[in-house]
Amino acid sequence: MKNYTTFEEIEYDLKRLSLERQIALEELKGVKGELKDDLKPVHWMQTVFKYASKYGSLLLLKKIIK
Please tell me the number of Cα atoms within 13 Å of 7 on its side-chain side: 0
For residues 55, 57, 62, 66, the Cα torsion angle rounded to the nearest 10 degrees is: 150
Q: State the Cα angle at 14 between 9 and 16, rounded to 5°.
A: 95
Residue 45 confidence (pLDDT): 83
Name the more confident of 37 and 9.
Answer: 9
pLDDT tens for residues 1-23?
889 999 999 999 999 999 999 99
